[in-house]
Every structure is written in structure tokens, then in C-alpha cells.
Amino acid sequence: MNLILLGAPGAGKGTQAEILVKKLSIPAISTGNMLREAIANGTELGKLAKKYMDEGALVPDELILGIVADRVAQPDCARGFILDGVPRTLAQAEALERKGVKIDHVVSIEVDDSVIEARMTGRRVCPKCGASYHVTANPPKTEGRCDSCGSELIVRKDDAPETVRHRLEVYHASTEVLKDFYGKLGRLATVNGCQSIEGANADILKAIGAEV
Ligand code: ADP
Ligand code: ADP
Ligand code: ZN
């Protein structure tokens, strides 16, 4: 089961990916988390990616394709994987097809632009494991601490309202066309992301034909 989660920034891709990892026992591949880890580790990739991410712009396709191709070739992806936040451009989607990365289902999590800002201002993330929380909609068990690894939660720099607005523009200009791309290939399902986290998850599982 190779799955792509599509959606605007804040649609709930990361949150849903975390739940699906447990339910489907396959890994999630979040390019955002991989890039943030590269920045934290001061790697060459991190240095190249940082300025784009801080501005809410897309990191160049070549950098993204390199890390994704390596990751999906790892043994733990043999039974399937969940791509969270990638592909984000037509060029990335076409390159995955060319490289023979087989995609079974693409689920677009649909959320109105008007709710995104509230989601982002309340988002708290774990800098160590990438888990995503919300101060009211999905709070951690202990305030300010990651449920999975106990690290102190942080606010992402690019979740500032001005940057979020730019990221939303980028989504509409560069990423939304992927719905047409995968729709024409007959692999697209859309799910309402403006409902409870559990409700959206149930709809995703139904859309991919998975037993719960
Ligand atoms: P993405 O990975 O698509 O950017 P996240 O999964 O990080 O989105 O979710 C963005 C924010 O919205 C987080 O704070 C998350 O806890 C919260 N969130 C996710 N799904 C829902 C939902 N169905 N209802 C309300 N808040 C949600
Ligand atoms: P969100 O979950 O809120 O949509 P991500 O964590 O997926 O945000 O991405 C954060 C930033 O990392 C993006 O704004 C972009 O700069 C960069 N990024 C992540 N994935 C990609 C990708 N597939 N292509 C280009 N840039 C990416
Ligand atoms: Zn954590």
C-alpha cells in the first residue's frame, strides 16, 4: 500500500500520517520533517533548504527527489509507505512515476483556507520526532511535552501568519494541480478535513479500502 497524502499546509497530513502509521504498520515519509532534521543537524542539504523553508517557498525539486528516492528504497518501505508533503509539484509527481515509485492511492485532505490560520497559530511540533499537536484541537497529555518522546514542543518559525499566507499561495499555485494529475490516473480520493481528526481518519481508511 503506497499512499500519498495531499493537502494545503495545516490540512492535517502529518496528524493523519501518524495515525495511519500505527493502523497500517507502514512508515510515513515526511519531507518537511526530513528537511527540518537536516537543518538541525547542519547538513549540506539543511543549509541549502533553510532559506526556502523560512520564506515559505518550495525547496528545489532535485533536492527533494534525491531524499525521497533514497528513503523509499529502504527495506522498511517494502510493504508500503505514506508520503506526507511530497510530491508538491507536477515535476516531483512526474519524476516519481518515471523512477517507478508505484502509487496506489492519493488522498487529498480538503480544508478551507479560512480555517488554516487558526490551525497554524495553535500548532506545536516535536523537534525530535516530528509529531504534530494543537493547543486546543489535539493537545499533548502533558502540556508542552511530546507524548511519544517527551521532548519540549516548539512553534515552527514558518507557522507565523505572514509565512502561512505565502505557503497557502504556493499550495494553490504549485501543488493543487496534482489533484488533476492523479485524478486523471484514477487514483485520487478527496476527504473532508474540516471534521474531527478521528472522522477524517475513518474517511481516509474508507477511501483507500483499508480494513480498520
Ligand atoms: P499538515 O501536516 O497538513 O501541515 P498537521 O497535521 O500538522 O498539518 O495539522 C496542522 C494543525 O492542525 C496541527 O496543530 C494539528 O494538531 C491540527 N489539526 C489536524 N487535524 C485537525 C482537525 N481535523 N481538526 C482540528 N485541528 C486539526
Ligand atoms: P506543512 O506540513 O505545514 O505543509 P511541511 O512540513 O510539509 O509543511 O513543509 C515545510 C516546508 O518544507 C515547505 O514550506 C517547503 O519549504 C519545504 N518542503 C517540504 N516538502 C517539500 C517538497 N516536497 N517540495 C518542496 N519543498 C518542500
Ligand atoms: Zn517527540
Residue 211 reports pLDDT greater than 90: no
The whole-angstrom separation of Cα 112 and Cα 146 is 28
Q: Write out the catalytic residue numbers.
A: 13, 88, 123, 156, 167
As a whole number, mean pLDDT of residues 161-182 equals 97
The amino acid at residue 81 is: F
- pLDDT > 70 fraction of the chain, expressed in percent and rounded: 99
What is the crossing angle of helices 61-72 and 31-40, to 10°?
Answer: 100
Q: Is the CB of 132 under 6 A from ligand 1?
A: yes
Letter for the amino acid at 198?
Answer: E
Residue 93 pLDDT level (bands cut at 50, 70, 90): very high
Q: So what's the pLDDT on residue 112?
A: 95
Per-chain mean pLDDT for the chain: 96
Q: Over range 184-206, report the average pLDDT.
A: 98
* Ligand 1 contact via 32 beta carbon (within 6 Å): no
Task: Out of 35, 83, 114, 119, give the residue to mutate to test ligand 1, the one with the largest number of ligand atoms within 8 Å of its CB.
Answer: 119
Q: Which ligand is nearest to the CA of 20?
A: 1
Note residues around ion ligand 3 (Cβ under 5 angstroms). 126, 128-129, 131, 146, 148-149, 151
Ligand nearest 175 Cα, by number? 2
C-beta of residue 36 within 8 angstroms of C-beta of residue 155: no
List, for residues 142-160, the tens digit of each pLDDT value. Answer: 999 999 999 999 999 999 9
Q: Which three cell numbers stand for residue 187?
A: 487514483
* pLDDT of 77 strictly over 70: yes
Asked if pLDDT for residue 103 goes beyond 90, the answer is: yes
